Amino acid sequence: MEKSLAPRSVLVTGGCGFIGSCFIRMLRDRDPEVEIVNLDLLTYAGNPENLPGITDSPRYRWVRGDVRHEETVESLVGSADWVVHFAAESHVDRSTAAKAGAFVDTNVYGTFVLLDAVRRLRPECRYLQIGTDEVYGDVAFPQMPDEGWMLDPSSPYSASKAGADHIALAFARTHGVDVMVSRCTNNYGAYQYPEKMIPLFITNALDSLPIPLYDGGGQIRDWLRVEDHCEALLLILEEGRPGEIYNVGANQEPERTNLEVTEMILECTGASASLIEHRHGLRPGHDQRYAVATEKIRALGWTPRADIQEGIASTVRWYAENRGWWEAIKSGAYREFYEAHYGRPAS
């Protein structure tokens, strides 16, 4: 295995989002001396408040900029030991709406711009492409795709992420860039934008609002606590091999349906099951099941710590105790998307 030295400088893209901000908080906790540059455009999903206690640090710098913008990216890669690329359009339901070109633009072209700058200006750095298990598409039970599985993405979101993975791996093979790709399952935890199922259902339950459960709720997602994901990413950066792909997932046993996770949320919030509103047709091409084989990342020594029941309970507690964080989001531009998508007001 390759073993990289502790980085002195890390360029993170999308560090004001849900997972990128967790990664920055974790990196800072591990090494207060590391220099962190966060390139984030602050789209609707970005929020500097996801980085409490970090934004004032002299060893942290946020650059409000676009990964698609060559000059911006060129000005930042020069001193990075690690480049960790989270920035993306990340919500499947937005990718199936009209005017979803930003998914291709940011997720595919943005990845190309970043890698091309790395190739030219910082070829010695380690580059980690943050990918998703959704690139394998709908996976029939009991199959568990390993990293060599055929890609068969269903949504414009997952297709754009598959394109990004291909670009990244092509830069490893063609240009010898030290690229690795991670492919993680669904994350949950603090600071997740409340358009995604778990924070949406928790915050609606806390406000006694309808819980829009799609297509009967029988779908399977392999929910992983965001801290467990970020631990895996640090391990890949430290010990992963150039040009390799690493699946990351909880491998829930038994696998949990969306309805079962919803029931956990109802129990933890004390909300009534009558809030569940069955909705159909809101997710065209809805994948039934995601799952991944994780032997490769486990062989590096990673294992998820959080149990789903305990993880949901502590996540519910976080949203209950941090109303100000999500109420500010839900009172803003969020309302437009919610009304257009769900056909009802957000409150």
CB of 191 to ligand NAD, least distance (A): 8
Furthest C-alpha separation in the chain: 57
Closest CA to 222 of 130, 144, 318, 160: 144
Residue 165 as a binder of ligand NAD (CB under 6 A): the answer is no
CA distances from 7 to 3, 11, 54 (A): 11, 10, 18
Q: Which residues pair with 132 in a beta bridge?
A: 184
Q: Which residue has the tokens 């709406």?
A: 97
Q: x/- site string to ligand NAD, residues 167 to 206, per CB under 6 A?
A: -----------------x-xx-----x-------------
Residue 214 as a binder of ligand TDX (CB under 6 A): the answer is yes
Q: What is the DSSP letter of 243?
A: T
Nearest-angstrom CA–CA distance, 344 and 130: 34
Residues constituting the chain: 347
Assign residue 216 a region (left: φ > 0; alpha: ψ between -120 and 50; beta: otherwise): left
| Peptide bond preceding 142 in cis form (omega within 30 of 0) | yes
Q: Which is nearer to ligand TDX, 35 or 165 (CB)?
A: 165
Q: Which of 6, 42, 328, 340 binds ligand NAD (CB under 6 A)?
A: 42
CB of 19 to ligand TDX, least distance (A): 9
Residue 228 as a binder of ligand NAD (CB under 6 A): the answer is no
Among 29-37, 87-95, 278-286, 323-331, which window interacts with ligand NAD (CB under 6 A)? 87-95
Select the binding partner of residue 92 from ligand NAD, ligand TDX, none (C-beta < 5 to 8 A, by kind): ligand TDX
Q: Are 108 and 164 in contact (CB under 8 A)?
A: yes
Q: Which of 134, 228, 231, 287 is catalytic?
A: 134
Select the binding partner of residue 87 from ligand TDX, ligand NAD, none (C-beta < 5 to 8 A, by kind): ligand NAD
Q: Which helix (H) or strand (E) holds 39?
A: strand 35-39
Where in 273-292 is the site for ligand TDX (CB under 6 A)? Answer: 283
Q: Which of 68, 94, 122, 221 binds ligand TDX (CB under 6 A)?
A: 221
Q: Are 180 and 241 in contact (CB under 8 A)?
A: yes
Q: Are 279 and 212 in contact (CB under 8 A)?
A: yes
Quick one: tokens of 39?
A: 């390139």
Asked about 33 being catalytic, the answer comes back as no
Q: Are 302 and 232 in contact (CB under 8 A)?
A: yes
CB of 87 to ligand NAD, least distance (A): 4
Select the binding partner of residue 41 from ligand TDX, ligand NAD, none (C-beta < 5 to 8 A, by kind): ligand NAD
Residue 186 as a binder of ligand TDX (CB under 6 A): the answer is yes
Residue 106 as a binder of ligand NAD (CB under 6 A): the answer is yes
Q: What helix, strand, coil percent values describe the chain, rounded to 5?
A: 45, 15, 40
Asked about 93 being catalytic, the answer comes back as no
Asked about 157 being catalytic, the answer comes back as yes
Q: Are 114 and 120 in contact (CB under 8 A)?
A: no
Using CB under 6 A, list all residues that contact ligand TDX.
90-93, 132, 134, 186, 196-197, 200, 212-214, 219, 221, 258, 283
Using CB under 6 A, list all residues that contact ligand NAD.
13-14, 16-20, 39-43, 45-46, 66-68, 86-88, 90, 106, 110, 130, 132, 161, 184, 186-187, 193
